[in-house]
Chains A and B, each alone.
Chain A
C-alpha cells in the first residue's frame, strides 16, 4: 500500500497503471498518475473549513498570488454532486462527524484528479449505518468509472463491497477470489491459514469481588469542556467490562484518567479496596493495573529500542526487570524470551528493535508484557486494532484465559463483534456519559451501533 502511494520504494517487481509501467518516488508521483489515498487516520486540519482542507497543498491561484476560493468551491460542489457525497464546503472540519470527515478525505483525493482510490481500513472508525453510507458512496464512485482498492480486516464488509478480493498474508498474495464464490468463513481461513477464531467467551467467570470501582468520574479539557462526565462502574474479578462508543466520545480520556495520565476533575477510583485517585501512574501500574494502549506506537513501545528494553517499559520498578536502582539485564532478557515464547511473538530474537516487528507481533509483545506481574486489572484499549486475524485470535485467547484466572478487564473497542463477544457487561458511552447498559448476550451489532450514535438512548 505504501509502495502504491509512493511512500516506499519496491525492491523488485513493477506497477502498471492503465497498462503502462510506472515508478513512484514520492506520493506526488502517485497522485499525478491518478492514485489517491484515504488514510485510516484522517489527515485534516480541524480548525480549517472543508474547502480549505480540500485545497490545502494544491490551491487554485488567481493572478499568480491570490487564492481562487470561488473556483475551488465550484469544483468541490461539482465533484460532490457528481458522486453524491453531499459535502458542504464552508463548514469547519471540527464540526463534522467521522463519516463526514471521511467523505472530505475522499473528496480531497478526487479533487486532485485521482481515478484510483486506496482506502485503508476506512470503516474502522465508523458505526454500522455510517458504513452503509460509505458503501453507497463507494458504489456511486465505481459507477462513475473509478477504481477502488479497499483494504480491510473486516470480511463481511469486503464481501459486501468488493468485486474482486485478493487475500494477502505476511506480505504475499495468498489467493484472489470472487466474492460471489466464497463465504466469509472460507475467506477468513485463507487469511489465517487455519481455522477461524471467534471472540465468543464460554461460561461466565464473573465473581462478586470488585476489582476496580469508578465513581462519578469527570474529566475536563484544558478549556473546561467535560469530556468524561459522571461515569461510574464496577469491574469484578473475572469480568470483562466493555465500553462501546463511537471514537472520540471520551473513551481515551476515561482510560487516561484511570491510568493517572490525565487529572480527574471529580470522582473516586478504588482498586481492590484502596483509593487510588491520587496515585501516580507508576504507582497505579505497580498496584496491578496492566495497560494495553490504544496507540501502541505512541504509548506502548519504544520503537527504536530492542524488545527486551520494551519489556522493561512501564514495569521499570518491578522484578525481574530491576534490582533496586539497577536494571537487571539478565532478568529482563530472560523474561522477554519467555514472553516471546508464550505469546508467540514472531521475531528472530529479543535484540531487534520493536519497529521491525509487524503490528500484530508488537501487540502480542505488549499483551504479554502487561499480563506479566499478576495484574489485578487490565485496561485493553482496542487490543486487536490493526493486527492480523491470527494475532487477533491469540490476543482474544489470552484475554479469556486471564479472565478465567480472575483478571478484571476494561475493554474499549470499536470492533462491535469483539465487544459483544468478549464482554460480560457492556456499557455505551456517548459524549462522555454512560448512556446505556447493554446485555451482550442478546444484542446485535446493529442495535449496539444505533445506541452508540444516540439513535436510541433508552436501554436496549
Chain B
C-alpha cells in the first residue's frame, strides 16, 4: 500500500494533478468499455448515458444519491482504516449487519427516551461492530489466522446470528415482514432539507459521515497512532524495529474498523426504516471495499467514489425505460474499479521513476566539476 494520501493531501510533490487524473481517466475508460458493451447489445450508449445524467441531476435523485452515498462512504472508511495497515477487513459486511440487528433490537425496546435512545442505539452498534471485528483481530494475533479468512467466516456467522436474534428475540411480524420492533418516533434522526426543489430530506447522518471523514484524515495523518498504523502498513519489519507493537496495532485497527462498520447501518436504521427487517440493505460492506479501492483510501477520493457509486445504483432503474438491462451499471462499476487500480499503479510507477530521475539530475548538476577533475 503506498501513501496515496500523502500524494494528494500531503505535500503535493511531483505533479499532484496526476493523482486526480488517474481516477478521471479510469472513469472515462469505464464509460468507453460500457459503451462498447451497449453497442454490442445493440443499444445506443449516448442515449443511455444522457438518461443516467438527466436522472442524476434532478433534485429528488440528488437527495437519494446523497442518502445512499452516506452509507457507502461510512462503509468505505471502515474498510480503508484496515487497508492503510494492510489489514483486509472483508467482514465489514457482517459487522454492520450484526451491529444493526442488536442496535435495532435495543432501540425498539425503547429502554430510554428520545435523544438518549439515539445515543444508545449508536453506541450499541459501535460496540457490537468493534467486538465482532475484534474476534478476527485476536485470532490473527494469537493464532495467526488470516483476517481475510476469519472475517469471511464471521460474515456467515453474523448472518445466522442476526436471523436468530430477529426471529427469536427482537422480532415482530408486520404482515409478511419479520423485523425488529420499530424505534419510537422520538428517537428518529431528523433529516435535513439540504437540496432545494424536493421534499426528500437528506439523512441527518451526513453530518456524522463528514465528521468521520475528517477524523479519519486527522487520526491517520496527524497523530502518532496514525503514523504507527501507516508505518506498519508500509513495512511491518521496519515498524517492529521502531518499537511499534504490531500485535497491538492489529487488534486496535480491527476494533476501529469494526466500530466504524457498526455505524454503516445507522443512517438507514435511525433515518429511514427505523427497524431491522429482511429489507434492510445488505452487501454494503462489499460496496465499501470497492469504494475504498476507488478512492485509494483517501477521504475525499472515497467521498467522490461513494457518490459515483450511489449515483450509478440509484439511476440504474431508469435504464429499464430504454429497455436496457440495469445490470449494465454493474459492468460499469466493475470496470471503474479495475481501471482505477491499473491507472493508479501506472501513475504511481511513473511518479517513482520520474522522482528518481529528478533526484539524480538535481544531484548530478553541482557534481560536474569534481567529476571532470577526476577524469582528467
Shortest beta-carbon distance from A65 to chain B in Å: 34
Separation of A283 and B243 alpha carbons in the complex (Å) = 8
Shortest beta-carbon distance from A255 to chain B in Å: 10
- The answer to whether A172 and B371 have CB atoms under 8 Å apart is yes
Separation of A291 and B243 alpha carbons in the complex (Å) = 11
- The answer to whether A327 and B241 have CB atoms under 8 Å apart is no
Question: Which residues of B are found within 8 Å of A351, using beta-carbon distances?
Answer: 11, 13
A305 and B234 in contact, given A170-B367, A327-B223, A357-B359 (Cβ under 8 angstroms): yes
- The answer to whether B241 and A281 have CB atoms under 8 Å apart is yes
Question: Which residues of B are found within 8 Å of A291, using beta-carbon distances?
Answer: 241
Does residue A348 face the partner (Cβ distance < 8 Å to B)?
yes
Q: Would you give the 0/1 interface string for A318-332, flagging 1 where the beta carbon is closer than 8 Å to chain B? A: 000010011101000
A346 and B374 in contact, given A298-B235, A302-B235, A316-B227 (Cβ under 8 angstroms): no
Question: Which residues of B are found within 8 Å of A446, using beta-carbon distances?
Answer: none
- The answer to whether A314 and B225 have CB atoms under 8 Å apart is no
- The answer to whether B243 and A326 have CB atoms under 8 Å apart is no
Question: Which residues of A are found within 8 Å of B362, using beta-carbon distances?
Answer: 348
Interface members, chain B 219-249 (any A CB < 8 Å)? 221-228, 230-231, 234-235, 237-238, 240-245
Interface members, chain B 87-142 (any A CB < 8 Å)? none
Does residue A178 face the partner (Cβ distance < 8 Å to B)?
no
Separation of A346 and B360 alpha carbons in the complex (Å) = 10
- The answer to whether B242 and A316 have CB atoms under 8 Å apart is yes
Question: Which residues of B are found within 8 Å of A316, using beta-carbon distances?
Answer: 224, 227-228, 231, 242-244
Q: Per DSSP, are chain B's interface residues mostly helix, strand or loop, or mixed?
A: helix
Residue on A with the closest CB to B235? A302
Interface members, chain B 178-229 (any A CB < 8 Å)? 221-228
Question: Which residues of B are found within 8 Å of A309, using beta-carbon distances?
Answer: 6, 227
- The answer to whether B375 and A313 have CB atoms under 8 Å apart is no
- The answer to whether B244 and A282 have CB atoms under 8 Å apart is yes
- The answer to whether A280 and B223 have CB atoms under 8 Å apart is no
Separation of A315 and B363 alpha carbons in the complex (Å) = 28
Shortest beta-carbon distance from A297 to chain B in Å: 8
- The answer to whether B359 and A352 have CB atoms under 8 Å apart is yes
- The answer to whether A327 and B13 have CB atoms under 8 Å apart is no
- The answer to whether B238 and A317 have CB atoms under 8 Å apart is no
- The answer to whether B13 and A352 have CB atoms under 8 Å apart is yes
Residue on A with the closest CB to B363? A346
Q: Would you give the 0/1 interface string for A51-91, flagging 1 where the beta carbon is closer than 8 Å to chain B? A: 00000000000000000000000000000000000000000
Does residue A219 face the partner (Cβ distance < 8 Å to B)?
no
Question: Which residues of A are found within 8 Å of B223, using beta-carbon distances?
Answer: 325-327
Q: Which of B226, B355, B374 contacts A174 (CB 8 A)?
A: B374
Separation of A281 and B153 alpha carbons in the complex (Å) = 34
Separation of A285 and B244 alpha carbons in the complex (Å) = 11
- The answer to whether B374 and A169 have CB atoms under 8 Å apart is yes
Shortest beta-carbon distance from A96 to chain B in Å: 26
- The answer to whether B224 and A317 have CB atoms under 8 Å apart is yes
Residue on A with the closest CB to B12? A351
Question: Which residues of A are found within 8 Å of B234, using beta-carbon distances?
Answer: 302-305
Does residue A268 face the partner (Cβ distance < 8 Å to B)?
no
Does residue A404 face the partner (Cβ distance < 8 Å to B)?
no
Does residue B281 face the partner (Cβ distance < 8 Å to A)?
no
A356 and B355 in contact, given A172-B371, A299-B238, A325-B225 (Cβ under 8 angstroms): yes
Q: Which of B221, B222, B241, B359 contacts A314 (CB 8 A)?
A: B241
Does residue A212 face the partner (Cβ distance < 8 Å to B)?
no
Q: Would you give the 0/1 interface string for B350-376, flagging 1 where the beta carbon is closer than 8 Å to chain A? A: 001001101110111001001101110
Separation of A285 and B239 alpha carbons in the complex (Å) = 13
A303 and B375 in contact, given A316-B242, A317-B224, A346-B363 (Cβ under 8 angstroms): no
- The answer to whether B244 and A302 have CB atoms under 8 Å apart is no
A348 and B244 in contact, given A325-B225, A326-B223 (Cβ under 8 angstroms): no
Question: Which residues of B are found within 8 Å of A353, using beta-carbon distances?
Answer: 352, 355
Question: Which residues of B are found within 8 Å of A285, using beta-carbon distances?
Answer: 242-243
Does residue A22 face the partner (Cβ distance < 8 Å to B)?
no
Question: Which residues of B are found within 8 Å of A171, using beta-carbon distances?
Answer: 360, 364
- The answer to whether B374 and A190 have CB atoms under 8 Å apart is yes
Does residue A306 face the partner (Cβ distance < 8 Å to B)?
yes
Question: Which residues of B are found within 8 Å of A327, using beta-carbon distances?
Answer: 221-224, 226-227
Shortest beta-carbon distance from A31 to chain B in Å: 25
Q: Which of A281, A284, A357 has the largest count of B CB atoms less than 10 A from its CB?
A: A281
- The answer to whether A169 and B238 have CB atoms under 8 Å apart is no
Residue on A with the closest CB to B2? A304
- The answer to whether A301 and B238 have CB atoms under 8 Å apart is yes
Question: Which residues of A are found within 8 Å of B227, using beta-carbon distances?
Answer: 309, 312, 316, 327
Question: Which residues of B are found within 8 Å of A314, using beta-carbon distances?
Answer: 241-243
Question: Which residues of A are found within 8 Å of B334, using beta-carbon distances?
Answer: none
Does residue B160 face the partner (Cβ distance < 8 Å to A)?
no
A304 and B3 in contact, given A261-B240, A346-B363 (Cβ under 8 angstroms): yes
Shortest beta-carbon distance from A418 to chain B in Å: 22
Question: Which residues of A are found within 8 Å of B11, using beta-carbon distances?
Answer: 306, 351
Question: Which residues of A are found within 8 Å of B228, using beta-carbon distances?
Answer: 316
Shortest beta-carbon distance from B83 to chain A in Å: 15
- The answer to whether B241 and A293 have CB atoms under 8 Å apart is yes
Separation of A450 and B100 alpha carbons in the complex (Å) = 70
- The answer to whether B237 and A299 have CB atoms under 8 Å apart is yes
Does residue A355 face the partner (Cβ distance < 8 Å to B)?
yes
Does residue A10 face the partner (Cβ distance < 8 Å to B)?
no
- The answer to whether B364 and A170 have CB atoms under 8 Å apart is yes
Residue on A with the closest CB to B362? A348
- The answer to whether A356 and B238 have CB atoms under 8 Å apart is no
- The answer to whether B374 and A193 have CB atoms under 8 Å apart is yes
Shortest beta-carbon distance from A350 to chain B in Å: 10
Separation of A455 and B223 alpha carbons in the complex (Å) = 54
Separation of A394 and B375 alpha carbons in the complex (Å) = 23
Q: Would you give the 0/1 interface string for B334-353, flagging 1 where the beta carbon is closer than 8 Å to chain A? A: 00000000000000000010
Question: Which residues of B are found within 8 Å of A260, using beta-carbon distances?
Answer: 243
A193 and B370 in contact, given A298-B238, A327-B224, A348-B362 (Cβ under 8 angstroms): yes
Shortest 8 CB-CB contacts between residues of A and residues of B: A282-B243, A314-B242, A299-B241, A281-B243, A348-B362, A298-B237, A356-B359, A302-B234
18 contacts between A and B (CB under 8 A): A170-B363, A174-B374, A193-B373, A261-B241, A281-B242, A282-B243, A298-B238, A299-B238, A305-B6, A309-B227, A313-B242, A316-B227, A327-B222, A327-B226, A347-B359, A348-B362, A351-B11, A352-B13
